[in-house]
Amino acid sequence: MENQKILLNKKAKVVTMGCQLNESDSEKLMGMLTYMGASLTDKTELADIIIFNTCAVRENAEKKVLGLLGSLKKKAEEKPDMLIGICGCTATQPHIAELIKKKYRHVRLVFGTCSLARFPELIQEAMQSGKTVIDIEQRKEVPEGLPVCRGEGPKAWLPVMFGCDNFCSYCVVPHVRGRERSRAPQAILAEAKAIALQGKKEIMLLGQNVNSYGKGLAEPVDFASLLYLLNDVEGIERIRFMTSHPKDIHPRLIEAMAFCDRVCKQLHLPVQSGSDAVLSAMNRHYTRAQYLEKIAYARQLMPDVVLSTDIMVGFPGETEEDFEDTLSLMKEVRYDSAFTFIYSRREGTPAATWENQIPEDVVHERFERLVQLQNQISLEKNRALSGKTLTVLCEGASKNDPRMLTGRDEGNRLVHFKGDPSWIGNMIPIRITQAESFCLYGEVL
Ligand code: SAH
Ligand code: SF4
C-alpha cells in the first residue's frame, strides 16, 4: 500500500454490523484509514468519514443499515464534505448498489467484500470526484499485507479463508463473499506470530467453512495441518476456529483438535435442522445420523468438549414433525449454547422462490419453543459447573457492570467475577458460584 496521508485531519468512524468476518474486515478498514492519516472516532457527530460494514444474512440486518443511511441524509447535506460509505455483504448485492445510487445519493462510496484492498483508491476517487463510486466486483485474489488496527484485549481474529462454495439453498453468503479462497499457511503463521508479539494470547481462526481450508492451494495442506502448525506459535495459548461445516469435519481434524494442547476443546458445529428432509432441501450434504456420528467421535476423543451450533426454524416446507426432529436433536446433543435463527427469505437464493414458505405465526411459535428448550439445557449445563474451577482468560470490564471483570474459559463460556483491572490479559482460576443460561459468575480462588 502506498503511504499517502490523504486523510490527515479527518476523523473516521467504522460501524460494524454482522459476523466475526466483518469485525475482522473492519480492523483492516480502520488500519487503512489510520495509515492514510485519519484519526478514528466512535462519535457520529465528529466524523468526517463514516463507513458502514454490513451483513446480509437476514433481511432485518439490511433494513437496519438502510434506515441508518437514511437518517444521515440531513447531516450529509449540512456538511457537504462528509463522506458516507457502505461496504460488506449488503453492499455487494447489485440491487442494493442500484438502490443506493438512486435513493441514497448522499452515500458516496459503495464497495464489496472483494474490494477491501482497493479501499484507499476508492475513497480517494470518491473524495476527488464528488460522485458516488461503486466497486462490487467479485475477485479471486486474497489480499495480504493490509494494515490492521486490532481491538484491545487478549484476543485476535485471524482469517484463514474467504468466501464459500457451499450454496446452502437459503444463504446469501456465497453470492456476496464469492468463491472459496484460502490464505497461504506461511501468511497465516506469520500473522499468528505477529499477534503473539503484540501480547495477545488467543486467536480465532475465521472462515465461512474453515474445514475446507487449503482447497485450491498449490501445496497439500488442510485445516488439521494448519492447526498442528499454529499449535507451536510461542505466546498463543488458545486457538479457536469458526465456522465448521459438518460435511467437511473429518476424523483427522477432530484428532488434531484433541492432540493440540493449545486448540480449545470447543466446537461450533452448525446443524441448522434435525430433519433429514429439511437438511436435504437446505443442500447441506449431511444427514442427522452423520452429524451425530461426528459429535460422538468428538466426545469420544474429548469427553468434556463444549458444543455449540446454529439452528434455523421456519425453513420452507418445514413440518411440525421436522421441527420436532430439531427439538429431539437438541435434546440428544445437549449443546452448551446455540445461535437460533428465524428463516429469512433472501433475494437470489433458491429457497426464496419456493412456494412452501411457512406462515409467520407458526414460525414464531416454533422459535419460542426452540429458544426455551435451549435456554433450559444451557441453564442445566451451566448449573452443573457450580463449585468447579475454570481457567478464565480475563478480557476486560464487564459491559453490564463495570465493577466486574469478564472473560471466557476454554469452552468459550462467559464468566463474570470481581477482580483487579491489572488481571486483564491473564489466565485466572475462577470458582463458579452462580449460573445463568448465558453466563456464569464466580470468584477468584
Ligand atoms: N458459514 C457458516 C454460517 C454463516 S451464516 C455455516 O455454514 O455454518 C451464520 C448462520 O446464519 C447460519 O449458520 C444460519 O444458521 C444463519 N442463516 C444463514 N442464512 C440465513 C437465512 N436466510 N435466514 C436465517 N438464518 C440464516
Ligand atoms: Fe452460507 Fe452454507 Fe456457506 Fe455457511 S456453508 S456460508 S450457511 S452457504
pLDDT one-digit tens code per residue, 297-334: 999 999 999 999 999 999 999 999 999 999 999 999 99
Using the mean position of ligand 2's atoms as its centre, give its distance from the Cα of residue 370 in Å: 21
Q: Which one of 57, 176, 208, 310 would you pick to mutate in the ligand 2 pocket, going by the greatest count of ligand atoms within 8 A of its CB?
A: 208
Nearest C-alpha to atom 8 of ligand 1 is from which residue?
Answer: 270
Asked if residue 3 has pLDDT above 90, the reply is: no
For ligand 2, the distance from its centroid to the CA atom of residue 208, given in whole angstroms, is: 7
pLDDT at 369 over 60: yes
Protein residue with least CA distance to atom 2, ligand 2? 168
Q: Which atom of ligand 2 is nearest to the CA of 245?
A: 5
Categorize the per-residue pLDDT at 387 as very low, low, confident or very high, splitting at 50, 70 and 90.
very high
- Quick check: CB of 308 below 6 Å from ligand 1? no
Q: Which residue has the cell 480465532?
A: 204
The verdict on the CB of residue 209 being under 6 Å from ligand 1 is: yes
> Which of 59, 170, 171, 367 most suits a substitution to test ligand 1, by most atoms within 8 Å of the C-beta?
171
For Cα atoms 340, 392, 21, give the angle at the middle one, nearest 5 degrees: 45
The model's pLDDT over 21-66, given as tens digits with 9 standing for 90+, comes to 999 999 999 999 999 999 999 999 999 999 999 999 998 988 999 9
Res 427: pLDDT: 97
Q: How far is 173 from 170, CA to CA, in rounded Å?
A: 9
Structural domains in the chain, CATH included, are: 11-135 (3.40.50.12160), 152-264 (3.30.750.210), 294-384 (3.30.750.200), 389-444 (2.40.50)
Q: Whose Cα sits closest to atom 4 in ligand 2?
A: 208
Best of 55, 161, 173 to mutate for ligand 2, by most ligand atoms within 8 A of CB? 173
Whether ligand 2 lies within 6 angstroms of the CB of 174 is answered as yes
What separation in Å is there between the alpha carbon of 392 and the centre of ligand 1? 29
- What residues contact residue 31 under an 8 Å CB cut-off, 6+ apart? 146, 147, 148, 149
For position 352, what pLDDT does the model report? 97
Locate all alpha helices (DSSP H) within 36-93, ordered by sequence.
59-71, 73-78
pLDDT above 90: percentage of residues in the chain: 91
Given a contact cutoff of 8 angstroms between Cβ atoms, the answer to whether 250 and 214 are in contact is no
The whole-model pTM stands at 0.95
For the chain, the farthest-separated pair of C-alpha atoms sits apart, in whole angstroms, at 64
